[in-house]
Amino acid sequence: MKFFIDTANIEEIKEAEAMGILDGVTTNPSLMAKEGITGEENVNKHYQDICKIVDGHISAEVIATDLEGMLKEGKKLASLHPNIVVKVPATANGIKAIKKFSAEGIKTNCTLVFSTGQAILAAKAGATYVSPFIGRIDDMNYDGLEIIEQMVQVYANYNFDTEILGASIRNVKHIIECAEVGVDVVTSPLKPLKGLLNHPLTDIGLEKFLADHKKAQK
Ligand code: E4P
């Protein structure tokens, strides 16, 4: 199982990288805007800065929604660094773009995926990753995990090469549930990622071990 961090914040990326378990980064236009990164030049430089911190796949999303625009932007993004993965929405033009990128050896992440049907098309087009948004599905009062579980089963039936990347992670439970059904990658904000380590019995146990050790030294 691979861990990506879902942020464009450099400090958070550095902190997650320092944990020693980070395999990549995902960003999206909202996350870039949150960091105040605007203008093509600044955006591209920001992706390159992230690539210097993490030696793994870094998803960079296209803004264009027409096929020609997606192809132009995607090629530009892919040329920034060999680790860039071009993030493309699960639309009709997006699927066509993924097919073309995959023929040219450009890595892709099919994003904004909310159904197994979309995930099948992404895999057929040759996407490197498919990103089902578990949290946003839950927000609509459907079961995000159930849909991801169905994707895992369908992908296994056909030995699709596309990796399932559990996205829109809101808490530790989402990460564990993704692991339980066998997703390949989870992309999480820093808080749930760090939260995996939290257990009060570890803290209590460590405190007791250290106190006993100290007592024995007297
Ligand atoms: C990841 O690729 C997505 O951009 C991200 O996980 C969306 O998460 P959100 O639903 O919390 O915005």
CA distances from 96 to 88, 92, 103 (A): 10, 6, 11
Cβ atoms of 70 and 88 closer than 8 Å? yes
Q: What is the pTM of this model?
A: 0.96
Q: Give the distance (Å) from ligand 1 centre to CA of residue 109.
A: 12
- Residue 5 Cβ contacting ligand 1 at under 6 Å: no
Question: Looking at the chain, how many residues does it have?
Answer: 218
Ligand 1 atom 6: the closest Cα is on which residue?
Answer: 168
Taking the centre of ligand 1 as the mean of its atom positions, its distance from the CA of residue 202, in whole angstroms, is 31
First to last CA, the chain: 46
Probe target for ligand 1 pocket from 3, 5, 6, with the most ligand atoms within 8 Å of CB: 6
Look up residue 29 and give its DSSP letter.
H
Distance CA 36, CA 182 (A): 35
Which residues touch 214 (CB under 8 Å, ≥6 apart)?
A: none
Per-residue pLDDT of the chain (218 residues; tens, 9 = 90+): 999 999 999 999 999 999 999 999 999 999 999 999 999 999 999 999 999 999 999 999 999 999 999 999 999 999 999 999 999 999 999 999 999 999 999 999 999 999 999 999 999 999 999 999 999 999 999 999 999 999 999 999 999 999 999 999 999 999 999 999 999 999 999 999 999 999 999 999 999 999 999 999 98
Known catalytic residue: 87?
Answer: yes
Question: What is the reported pLDDT for 95?
Answer: 98
pLDDT score recorded for residue 218 = 80
- From the list 45, 87, 107, 191, the catalytic residue is 87
Check if 128 has its Cβ closer than 6 Å to any atom of ligand 1.
Answer: no
What are the beta bridge partners of residue 186?
3, 166
